[in-house]
Structure formats: C-alpha cells, structure tokens
Structure 1
Amino acid sequence: MTVTDAIGRIAQIQATLVQLDSVTTGTATPAASTRSSSGATDFASALTQALGGTGATTDATTSSGGVTGADVVADAKKYLGVPYVFGGTSASGLDCSGLVQRVFKDLGIDVPRLVSGQSTVGTEVPSLAQAQPGDIIVCNGGEHIVIYAGDGKVIHAPSEGRNVSLVDNWLSDSDIVTIRRVVPQASTAASSASSLSTAQTDALRSLFTSMLQGGSL
C-alpha cells in the first residue's frame, strides 16, 4: 500500500466513523455530512503534506521496495550455468536481456524485455569507476547487456553455445553505451529508510497533536 492509499483509507475511515456516529445519535444533517467529508479531505491533504510527497512512483528505481544491488547480484548468480538461448527468459535458457529481465522480475521489479528498453531504466551512472553491484551495463553499441557484480566482475549470458557466466569485466568506458542503476545500494537504502522513518514519525506526531488540540479529530 502506498502512502497515498494509506491516506485515502484513513480519510475514508474517519468520514465513515463520523457518519455512523451521527446516524446512531440521530443527529445527522446535510451540513454535518458535508463537514465530515470536508474534514476527511483536509485531513488527507494535511497528512500528505506532512509526509512530504504524493506517494507516486515514476520508475523502477523508486518502486524497488527495498531491493538492493546486492540482491540483484545474488539472484543473478542463481542462473550461472544456464545455457544461452536467443529469446530465452527462463531458467531453461536465457539471452542477455532475458537474464536481466528475469533477475529483476524475481525481485518484483518490472523492466523492459529488450536491451533498448533496459538502457533507459533507473538512473544513469556516469562512469565505470562509479558502478556498483547490481548496476546494468549496456555495451556492444547497444546490442549486449551485463550485470555488474562488483570486484571487477560481471554476470551475463554471452552467446550461442555458452552459459550464463560470472567473468572478469573486459569493458572500458569507451565500450559502454550506458550504465543504469535500477535499485539503490544497501547502505544508501538503509540510510534513506531510517531518515525517512524518523521524519515521518515527527511529522505525524506534530500533525495529530495539532489536530487533536484544534478538535479536528
């Protein structure tokens, strides 16, 4: 459930409780109903602002749900030894972009099927020196894609007659079309989650206190 969904649900519950209370006591009036609806809307709006956003996600990175680059590498390693099959997208056979799509799908993240689409997901990493485990690297003029595994190694489905392999990275920046970061690194994700949780807690505490003092709840 997204923040927006939660906000909407809270507003619905608040409005429903007010309406039920009015019906039970026999005091329901059109004006009271209107105020209830308005109060629920105001509450939802205030809560959204306190949380600092709309809850919307726009790309694979922001919708990764806590998945990190280390998770990507660990999942990719499950497919080591799987034969290269052109157009393959399963453990019985994979091509280069099929491997990338399969790994992210295992982790609950949808990415395009072809290299051309995968080359636009997430955020761009400026150079190989800044690549982190789990980043995907597009090379061969946009015809091939690999998963950076860290420590100067990559995982990829090479070509016909070969298997998915963990190999030394043979690429230089001049060979690379783009490097994409689809999910954050573990330390970054943990730090962001921690600071966001603290900020949200403080904002909610302040919001509910002010609303209770003002008789809005």
Structure 2
Amino acid sequence: MTITDAIGRISQIQATLVQLETGMRATASSGSSSTAAGSATSATSATDFASALSGALGATDGSSTGAGAVTGADVVADAKKYLGVPYVFGGTSASGLDCSGLVQRVYKDLGIDVPRLVSGQSTVGTEVPSLAEAQPGDLIVTNGGEHIVIYAGDGKVIHAPSEGRNVSLVDNWMKDSDIVTIRRVVPQAAPAASSATGLSGLAGLSGLSGLSSASGSSAQADMLRSLFASLAQGGSL
C-alpha cells in the first residue's frame, strides 16, 4: 500500500478515535467517579494514540528515504572504486575484472546478487526503453549480448573493456541500435519509506489497549486494532 493510500486510511482511524473519545467523555460525566476516572484515562489514551499516529505519518511524508535503500548513484560510486583495475577474463575481484565480473562485484558490494554472466545480467531488473531514458546505475548490454557496461550518467559509462586495458570511465559510444537491452536494477533515487515501514511500530500502542479496557467499547477497540494491523502490514482496509 502506498503512502497516499495509508494517509487516506488514517483519516478513518482518527475519525473513529474521535467518536470513541466523545462517547467516553459522555460516560465519564454520567457514571460513578471511578468510571469517570477510567473513561478520562481512556480518552487521554485515545488522544495520545492519535498524536502518535500523526507523528508516524510525519515520518513517512515522502521526503524521507527507505533505510538502507540502494540507488543508482550508489552503484556508480562503488564502480568508481574499481577504476584502473586490469581486465582479466573471468575476473571477479579487485585484482582483475571482466565486464560482467565488474557488474557482479559492484552489485554484490551493495548487497544485491546478480548473475555472473552477461546472458543472465541482461534479464535482471526492468527494461529501460531507450538510451535517452537511462539513469545512473543502469546496465547496458551491447555487442550482440557479449558486453555489459554500467551507465554513469552525463553520457558516460564504466566498464571493463578488454585484454590489456583497465576498468575505465569513458564517454558513451553507443546508439540505441547498438544496444541489446538496458536494465534497471535499482532506482535512481531512494524510494519514499513505505507505509509499513513508517507505521508498523504503532500496532501495539498502549492507547489501543486503554480504549478496550477503560471504555468498555471492546468491539470498537477491536475494530481499531484490526484496521491498524492492516495498515502496519501494508494491506488494505
């Protein structure tokens, strides 16, 4: 579920909280002193819960990034660490790399497993329609499927060229007609944190248990718990 969907669902929860709080205040004004105290406590819990909920939304307003997310810029930065490494056919380490070995090494550094050979790497991720739409970190397969490079942005690529040469950052020499496929494995920028990331920690807030025990509206509290559990798990209501 997207952040937009989550925000829409939150309004439902907050409206229900308001109704519960109103009912609890009415109970407090007409019941015994002990019941009133319990209802007042529950109303406070409801308010606290709503505030915490709003705070969680503030943490997932789209300007924040997912923790640990890998971006295309990260791919390019890691690939640059290997500039100058000699081309070695079959090489997969800093002592020597071939074209697909460089790609595998860079993505592995970032915690992403990709196939070892160009044939496998040409199927990972999603396809980019044209060179004009390529973003840093995208993989470009060329030479009839025999060579792969990492697009570095600004019309440049990083690759392990051939025997006797080193891993290099060079101007892109390819046209769309030279390209077999362009693959995007990671986004150009880190994605906004998901609703599940921002909200999962709130599912067990004490405010909900207070609603159940002090207000006597266990059915409504159960409904709130169900609604919120769905949000926390990224589901729909």
* Range of TM-score over shorter length: 0.5 to 0.7
Q: What TM-score do you get using the length of structure 2 for normalisation?
A: 0.57
Q: Counterparts of 1:190 and 1:121 in 2: how far apart (Å)?
A: 19
Equivalent residue letter for 1:172: K
| Alpha-carbon shift at residue 201 of structure 1 (Å) | 5.4
Deviations 1:120-156 (A, max 9, x none): 0011111111100000000000000000000000000
Structure 2 residue corresponding to 1:105, chosen from 98, 103, 108: 108
Alignment of 1:70-81 (within 5 A): 70-81=73-84
Q: Counterparts of 1:170 and 1:126 in 2: how far apart (Å)?
A: 18
Structure 2 residue corresponding to 1:82, chosen from 81, 85, 103: 85
Question: Would you identify which runs of 4 or more consecutive aligned residues in structure 1 move more than 3 Å?
Answer: 194-198, 200-206, 208-217
The number of aligned residues is 149
- CA-based RMSD of the aligned residues comes to 2.7
Q: What TM-score do you get using the length of structure 1 for normalisation?
A: 0.62
* 2:191 matches 1:183: no
Q: Counterparts of 1:144 and 1:204 in 2: how far apart (Å)?
A: 49
Gaps of 5+ in 2: 1-66, 213-217, 226-237
Q: Counterparts of 1:102 and 1:202 in 2: how far apart (Å)?
A: 35
| Alpha-carbon shift at residue 97 of structure 1 (Å) | 0.1
Structure 2 residue corresponding to 1:130, chosen from 133, 145, 157: 133
| Alpha-carbon shift at residue 190 of structure 1 (Å) | 3.5
Partner SS for 1:121: coil
Q: Counterparts of 1:159 and 1:106 in 2: how far apart (Å)?
A: 23
| Alpha-carbon shift at residue 184 of structure 1 (Å) | 1.0
Partner of 1:173: 176
Q: Could you say if the C-alpha distance between residues 83 and 204 of structure 1 is closer, same or farther in structure 2, counting changes exceeding 3 Å?
A: same
Gaps of 5+ in 1: 1-63
Q: Could you say if the C-alpha distance between residues 209 and 76 of structure 1 is closer, same or farther in structure 2, counting changes exceeding 3 Å?
A: same
Partner of 1:119: 122
Larger radius of gyration: 2
Equivalent residue letter for 1:130: E
Percent of paired sites with the same residue: 81
